[in-house]
Every structure is written in structure tokens, then in C-alpha cells.
Chains A and B, each alone.
Chain A
Amino acid sequence: MAVKSSVSYDDHSFYDRIVKRRAVIITALLILALIFFVLNIYIGSSDISLSDVFQAIFYGEGQGNNVMIIRKIRAPMSLMALAVGASLGIGGCEIQTILRNPIASPYTLGITNAATFGAALGLILNTNVLKVSEAIMVTTNAFFFALLASVGIYIFSSRQGSNRNSIVLFGIALNFLFSALTMILQYVSDDEDLKSLVFWNMGSLLKTNWKKLGIVLCALVFVSVIFYKNAWKLTAMTLDDTKAQSLGVNPQKLRRMVILLTSLITAFAVSFVGSIGFVGLIAPHVARQLVGEDQRFFIPVSALIGSVVVAFAFIVSKLIIPGVILPIGLVTAIVGIPVFLTIIFNKMGD
């Protein structure tokens, strides 16, 4: 007979223990995100004391430009860091789930490269795809092409016989296509435009305003709610397709839905902030180590880790050269990669 475990599973206290531990992790991450948020609002080139910061936030009072700086510049940017981090975290988490591939990310589907191409069209050729005002041309171009790539993948994944491998391959094809197109533009561009494109690609939170933040938040909330409602079905996606089907899940349908929704939040995040996609890879990875793949916890923890990483990177980007804001994508990668490698090496050591 099998060895009896010393733990008794007669009551469900062991389950409460697991849930409690995960709740603690989520709470800790929430607190961390909040701390980083406050730090982001506090840190800036103009010296504003913490009490003045709170004064400005809650009462709208303060000396000189303080209120405007806090409310209109720092607050939306700090929130955007959290929102974009969460979007990419959730996007990565779900893409990895439906493709059952721990190294997939929204990048894998070619969305970011498509957005870069759109931006390049605007920056280098002055092409205004959606005929919007020149000022927001680059952003809308990026969004248009990100969405175009998403629709492409969606249609492809709706085809009969498409599976997770063919979707990854299609994504790789899109990636190469759009980077080749971007390279053609780079080839004909002059140095100044090229530099603008490089800067765009490095990502920046500076373009944030309340309106854009609202859009990103709406998309994020909408998508999160749908994902959370389907948490158990998504959890079943970690099994293979037949197994998932035997549990009453339609894997093709779920996969299509996830592709559409993650594309949407990634497209918003990338076109407003530029490419900081590395987050989409590491956030779910760390989340998996912490809470496993039960999507009820996997989704919020991926989102929170994404937020924390981007918020932390934003703090660092403001501190390296005071008064200068380094591109957020650059810092995310620099800050994120050591963390990522540490996790991988620790795992190998086990």
C-alpha cells in the first residue's frame, strides 16, 4: 500500500492554508505596487515634500506648479506604469497559457513589431494611416498595425487545423515580416528619423495623459474580468487539447478569444508607451514560481508583478541621471534581466 501522508486531508484546512498563502503573496505585491506608485509620485526633478504631494493629490492645493505637476504629470505617468505593466503581465500570462509555451509573450505573436512598423511609417515616411491629426499620428499608426497583426493571428487561429505550434510559427512569420518592413524604412530614412524611431522603440511613459490612461485602464479591466470569469477553463488549458475537451472546454474557441483580448491590451500598451515587452515574459514566469498555474491567482499575480517591475524601472529611469528620464524599455530590460536570470539559475540549482 502507498505510504500514508502525515498530513491529514480529511478537512479542507490544507486548502485554506494554500489560499491564505497566495492571498498573502497578492497582498504583499499590492503593497509593493502601492509603495512604488507613491515613490513614483514622490520622485521627480522638482523637490516636493511628501506632505505636499498628499496635499496636492487629495486637496488640490500647493505652491506654484505643484498641483499640476503632481496631478497632471506624475500621477498619470505613475498609474500608467502600473497599468501597462499589468497589461503586459496579463498578456504574457495568457499567451503562455494558451500556447502552453513558457517562453511565449505578446512579442511572440508579432504585435510589438507590427506596432514598431506603424510608428516607423509615421516617423520616417510621415504616413498617416488613419488620417488623424499629425500630433497623434505615430501613436495611432502603431495601434493600427498592432491591431492588424492581431486580426491576422485571430483569423489564422480560426482556421481549421490551427494548433498552438502553427500559431507560434505564424507569429514568428509576422515578426519577421514586420521587422523586414521596418528595416526597409530604416534603410531609406535619414539619421534624425532613425534616431526618433530608436527612441520610440525604447519606450517612454512621457506621452501619458489621463485620457490615454483611461483607455488603457478600461481595456485592462474589461479583459481582466473576462479572463477571471474563465479562470478555470484557462487553467484547464495547461492540459493538452483532448484532455481539456474532456473537461468540457473548447480549446480552439478559448484560444481565439485569448488571442483577441491579449492583442487588444498589448496593442494599447505598446502604442502608448512603446515596446517594453520583456515584462510580458518575466512577469508570468515569476508568478508561476510564486502561485502556480491556478489562473485565479496566476492572472492577478502576473499583473501585479508586471506592474511592480515597470513601476520600479520607472523609478530607476528617473534616478540614474536626475532630471533626465531614460527610456523605460531600456531600463526595464536592464533591471529585469538580472532578476530573470537569478530565477532561472535558482531553478536550475534545485
Chain B
Amino acid sequence: MLKTKNLTFSYRSKIKELAVFKDLNVSCKKGFNVILGPNGAGKSTLLKSIFGLLNYDGTIWCGEGCVTEMSMDDKTKFMSYLPQIDISTSSLSVFEMVLLGLLPGLRQRVKKEDVRQVVNMLEALNIAHLTERNFSELSGGQKKMVFIAQTLVRDPKIILLDEPVNSLDLQRQLELCFFLKKIIEDKEISVIVVLHDINLAARFADHLIVLNDRGELYSTGSPEEVVTETMLKEVYGVVASIHHDAEGTPTVSALKSVNN
């Protein structure tokens, strides 16, 4: 579904060059892809590169063609991206905020379908009661939900989410993951999510991609294949025990850091 070929990126300043990843070859499948890795592994950078917010070397391909050569306008037609940090202090209403997610196709006169689409999305995410609230008055979790709604409302084929469950309560985390699962099935799309919660990832992901702290691809595959005690030790530097439930989904209990 989506492949990177020899993806190389480094943050450059006048004095030094900090390589994030070099010749990275990653492929994402249809369905629920989760990128795992410790802090600084380049997970967010990878998502930004895929969406084209950074100037990288190498190429990225997907079913629609070469992503690297596409204009932003073309990309936004089938791809959408939720950044990790958002410090927006907009005083738009929630409705307007989500409506913005339809931006590339918005006209001065908002179409009925657009309004319907926004309302549906808000209802699907259980935040319809916030529709006319002012965005700046919302709690952190509510804001996050609004941004997720804004990202998903466009009905994209590829969805890039950078730590979407941060600052969400447990209920919302599960609701969001189930919702993603549902639209993946309904619409046959790809979702690429950066997560820190390995258990959540193991439970919902169809396909896991693990980056280590040098920005290299450590392993890739199904949760059962990828989540192992060795991986946790080598990538995360923790000693952990892993249990498998009836369906074979691994659950991790981290015991201690290898440094202790």
C-alpha cells in the first residue's frame, strides 16, 4: 500500500547535521499499521516525511503513484495527517474546525453534503454535543478529538496519525481504535499510527513497524511476530514478560530497565 525507498533525512543546522534515518525502507499494508519505537527513533519524522512536510532524500510510493513527486493539493485529496503537537488557540467553533478538514474542496457556500459529513463524523466520534462550542474553551482531550475528527472527515484513503491517543481517557482511546478498525473495514483504507502504548498497538494493529533509536528498521510484521522479549530489550531497553491471550495477542508487562 505505501512504501518508502532509501528514505534519508537529517535535521541540518549551520554547525551540524543530525541524521534521523538513513536509507530507510519501510512498507505499510492495507489496514491498521502502527509505528513503534523509543523516543527519538524518528517516528514523527517518518510520518511528516510521508505527508511531505519535510525535504527528504529517497522516494515514497503508494497505490496512487509516487508520493514524493505529488503536489500538496494532490496529496490532500487522498491523504490526511494529524500532527502530534498542536498549540492552536483558534476561537473557531468545533463545527467550523472540523469543516476545515474538508478544506481543499470547500467553496464560499458550504454544501449540504459537507455539513452532513461533518455532523456524521462528530456523531461517529461521540462529540456531537460539542458541535457549536468554541474550540478554545474545550479540554485537552476534547480538542484532540476535534482534531481527529478534522483529520478523518475528509474520507481519506491513507490516514497518518501521530500519537492520536495522547491525552485521551481510556474509554476514548478504545472508542477511537474501534472506530479506526471500523472505517478500515468499511472503506478498505490504510491507517498509519504512531503509538507509544505497545499493548494497544498489539491489540489493534494488523501490521507493526518497529524503529530503533538509530532510526533503523528493527523489525516488521504482525504483533505476534514483532512483540518479543528480545525486541523490548534491544529497542526499548526494558526487561519485560509477555503473555499471550486466547487469540494470541501479546500483552507486555515491563519489569525494569536494563540499566537498573
Contacts and interface: CB of A to CB of B under 8 A. Distances in A.
Interface of A: 1-5, 7, 9-10, 12, 14-15, 18, 100, 228, 231-233, 235-236, 238-240, 242-243, 245-250, 288, 292-294, 296
Contact of B83 (A1, A100, A243, A293): A243
A298 to B, nearest CB: 10
Contacts of A14: 131-132
A10 B53 CA distance: 36
B260 interface: no
A72 B187 CA distance: 66
A257 B65 CA distance: 32
Contact of B93 (A7, A288, A292): A292
B15 interface: no
A248 B96 contact: no
26 contacts: A2-B126, A2-B127, A5-B131, A9-B119, A9-B122, A12-B119, A14-B131, A14-B132, A100-B89, A235-B92, A235-B100, A238-B89, A239-B88, A239-B100, A242-B85, A245-B72, A246-B51, A246-B53, A246-B151, A247-B76, A248-B72, A248-B75, A288-B91, A292-B134, A293-B91, A293-B96
Contacts of A232: 100, 103, 106
Contact of A1 (B90, B96, B126): B126
Nearest to B131: A9
B259 interface: no
Please classify the interface of chain A as helix (H, G, I), strand (E, B), loop, or mixed, using the class held by over half of its residues.
loop
Contacts of A4: 128-129
Nearest to A239: B88
B100 A292 contact: no
Given A12-B112, A14-B131, A248-B72, A294 B83 contact: no
A283 B85 CA distance: 32
A9 B72 contact: no
B82 interface: yes
Interface residues of B, number: 44
B88 A243 contact: yes
A228 B106 CA distance: 13
B117 to A, nearest CB: 10
Contacts of A3: 129
Contacts of B246: none
A242 B96 contact: no
A292 B91 contact: yes
Given A2-B129, A243-B83, A233 B119 contact: no
A294 B88 CA distance: 15
B170 to A, nearest CB: 13
Given A12-B119, A233-B103, A242-B53, A228 B108 contact: yes
Contacts of B123: 9
B220 interface: no
A228 B129 CA distance: 30
A242 B90 CA distance: 14
A9 B88 contact: no
Contact of A292 (B85, B96, B119): B96
A232 to B, nearest CB: 5
Contact of B129 (A5, A238, A292): A5
B129 A15 contact: no
